[in-house]
Amino acid sequence: MKSNSSTAANHFTITSSQQNRLDDPVAYVRGVGQARAEKLSCLGIRTVSDLLWYLPRRYQDFTSTKPIADTVPGEPVTIMGEVISVEDKPTSRDPRLWLSIARIRDDSGIAEAVWFTRTKSPKLRPRFSPAPPRGALVYLSGVAERAYGKVSFANPEWEDATRGVEGEPLNTARVVPVYGLTEGLGQKAVRRIVSNALSGYGDEIREVLPFEVLGRYGLPERRWAFLNVHFPSDMASASLARRRLTFEELFLLRLALKWRKSQYKASGTGLKHGPDGQLVAAFMKNLPFALTRAQEKVIREIAGDMEGPTPMARLVQGDVGSGKTVVAAYALVKTVENGYQGAMMAPTEILAEQHLLSLKKLLGPLGISVYLISGSQSQKERQEALTAARSGAAQVVVGTHALIQGDVEFSQLGLAITDEQHRFGVTQRAILAAKGGRPHVLVMSATPIPRTLAMAIYGDLDVSVIDELPPGRIPVETHWVMPSQRPRVYQFVREQVSRGRQAYIVCPLVEESEALSVKAAASEAERLERDVFPDLKVGLLHGRMSSSEKDAVMTDFRDGRIDILISTTVIEVGVDVPNASVMVIEDAERFGLAQLHQLRGRVGRGRHRGYCILVSQAASEVARQRMQVMQRTSDGFEIAEQDLRLRGPGEFFGTRQHGLPDLNVDILPGDLRVLAEAIEAAEGVDIEELGPGRRLEQLGHEISRRFGGMISWTGV
């Protein structure tokens, strides 16, 4: 993951004295030049700083150096010897595939090394041989093999033992870094470029963490960390260096969000609302159910924000079925009562239309007009909704991304709500909020996140949690079955349909390609309709369908004209069909716990018990643990904790959480302690000390340089 380290900031002052040579274009590094700089840009590397933050994906430990005769089969090892012969020849099976074979001799024996190269034509010899030249004294590192008494290496690393960089080899006889590559750049080239950058720019690496933080958490200095994350003396040094840089990333991110929050609160007045009046009272009285204590608490927090002098910026986090929509409806009624309009943006047309139905049911009796703006509307319907929003006749507008298009205008927008916020980017949410004069902002998520992680990801938002389900909700029964038990699963689905219920069958997630996922779902639907349920009505839903096609399928399913819906994960969030009682998830081990929990939440939403059946071979220990967690608990927050333990926080910092800047360091399962320490350390920093001329000015500059132009209200 990469961030652009040269981005300028909006909220920190950067003076010319704060600039350093790490912001130089990467072309300035010895051995790069313009051609290689263009290749490096494909990896997100544009400056020297970007290059230093381009951390190895893994390491090869070639520190064990042995005579040829003492090598052990299957063991990574380094030998040193003289190249006594080199031969290039095409293979018999593929004339375009050539072998370069070198024989290396030391005092104990002879080893053979083989490299494979490909040419464009069988008639052409490879332009460059990957083997060392005859007569050279070389280090050779790789995995040794023995056959018929002969020691051999396949595609090993080699290096001239008489030269090296600054007296040390880069590619052999050490812990060797392995980087992600792009076409035209090999490992040796990247290692050499990084080494040159460290040599030429190492003195420019300035410490940015307060020395008291370094001491308290046992962290090495920054320059040492960069040297040892790229070219460590041993694996322990590599681990410590990576820990230091991971801590720095998370510490700076947490401080940046903390600063943004303070700036937002201090940047001006919002649309201050009055206390709840008769309209809110009527809304509460008309509710067909009693609010939970958790809902009441969150409503009080929202009321306090909207009645305050600064704009609300709050996240409402709640488990599946916890009642977030009612809380959002309260906020909409409150803004309408104060003479403003409310907008609610959902990630899919299915979810937007369900919100429309829910809000009309809740707000219609109060005389509040609710309109829909979506991509699948007819031109006439869209024009009516646009006119109503512009004139103020539409007091509440629900929609998809269509809400942020240029022709959507509001008379006086007082509240902007985004549902399933992690599916929207920062820019999309900001555009919606910008359609009003500093409106209150409420974002909602049905993905429970542990508190520590929430502080890191949503540091610029106030966070409310609905941690209680309405009384009487029947827990969904979850069962884990092996693939061999599918016939029993299909029989159970048939029995449920015979009782008037409906079922989902979710096809496996194909991470590499949405097109493959769609193909898998389509072929499975065809097979089930033909071979398993020929007498039942089987439907298909996937993300490549047009909005109108999706709507038609969901309407048929909701109205009972489809018995079994075969789907990709497009139904993961927001689909509400109370009559659906069975959720079958194929190849369940391919899904994270949070996603499995979301899918399970699609059933058991009515008066009938729901059943979730996880079909999985679960060959790995982690996969088995995930299946067991799903069977054991339906508490979304406990599931989130377990997901964090089993998969680490990287998933939450990745594409699922749009709006955060990309981090340079991949966040791994073992980084939970580093995450907690970084947040703890950031909480102890007075952000006023980050300003120009203050004690932590250098830290403030680094936050600005790294995140200033990228962090833009994760909640807006």
Per-residue confidence at 14, pLDDT binned at 50, 70, 90? very low
Of the candidates 357, 287, 327, which has an alpha carbon nearest to the alpha carbon of residue 419? 327
Separation of alpha carbons 159 and 138, rounded Å: 5
48-73 mean pLDDT: 92
Side by side, the strands of the sheet bearing 413-418 are 370-373, 396-399, 341-345, 413-418, 440-445, 313-318, 462-466
Of the candidates 331, 327, 353, which has an alpha carbon nearest to the alpha carbon of residue 341? 331
Per-residue confidence at 522, pLDDT binned at 50, 70, 90? confident
Least confident of 25-34, 36-45, 52-61, 264-273: 264-273
Burial class (CB in 10 A: 0-12, 13-18, 19+), 268: exposed
Q: Print the SS3 string covering 584-629.
A: EECCHHHCCHHHHHHHHCCCCCCCCCCEEEEECCCCCHHHHHHHHH
Q: Which of 89-93, 268-272, 293-297, 553-557 has the highest mean pLDDT?
A: 293-297
Separation of alpha carbons 507 and 567, rounded Å: 6
DSSP per-residue letters across 26-68: GGGSTTTHHHHHHHHHTTT--BHHHHHT---SEEEE---B--G
Q: Which residue has the higher pLDDT, 532 or 516?
A: 532
Strands 76-90 and 137-143: antiparallel
Least confident of 11-20, 132-141, 265-274, 455-464: 11-20
* 574 has pLDDT over 80: no
Q: Which residue has the higher pLDDT, 511 or 48?
A: 48
Of the candidates 467, 423, 450, which has an alpha carbon nearest to the alpha carbon of residue 319? 467
What CATH code is assigned to 278-466?
3.40.50.300
Same fold, 278-466 and 477-633: yes
DSSP state of 168: B
Q: Give the dihedral sign, CA 644/646/652/656.
A: negative
Q: What is the pLDDT of residue 655?
A: 40
Q: What is the pLDDT of residue 244?
A: 95
Q: Which CATH number fits domain 477-633: 1.10.1040.10, 3.30.70.270, 3.40.50.300, 3.40.50.620?
A: 3.40.50.300
598-623 mean pLDDT: 88
**665 within 8 A of 249, measured Cβ to Cβ:** yes
Structure tokens, 681: 């350390």
**Bridge partner list, 341:** 413
Number of helices (H), then strands (E), in the chain? 22, 22
CATH class of 64-173: mainly beta
Per-residue confidence at 516, pLDDT binned at 50, 70, 90? low
Which residue is listed with tokens 């600039």? 19
Q: pTM for the complete prediction?
A: 0.70
Q: What is the pLDDT of residue 421?
A: 56
Burial class (CB in 10 A: 0-12, 13-18, 19+), 23: middle
**Bridge partner list, 660:** 658
Separation of alpha carbons 298 and 467, rounded Å: 10
Structure tokens, 709: 């132009």
Least confident of 27-36, 95-104, 383-392, 505-514: 505-514
Q: What is the pLDDT of residue 586?
A: 92
Q: What is the pLDDT of residue 518?
A: 59
Separation of alpha carbons 224 and 248, rounded Å: 14
Of the candidates 397, 267, 390, which has an alpha carbon nearest to the alpha carbon of residue 332? 397
Q: Tell me: the pLDDT tens digits for 92-142? A: 888 888 889 999 999 999 999 999 888 767 777 777 778 899 999 999 999
> For all residues of the chain together, what is the average pLDDT?
84
DSSP per-residue letters across 205-263: ----S-HHHHHHTTPPPHHHHHHHHHS-SSHHHHHHHHHHHHHHHHHHHHHHHHHHHHH
382-397 mean pLDDT: 94
Per-residue confidence at 15, pLDDT binned at 50, 70, 90? very low
**425 within 8 A of 658, measured Cβ to Cβ:** yes
What residue segments make up the domains of the chain, in order of their start? Answer: 1-59+180-263+691-706, 64-173, 278-466, 477-633
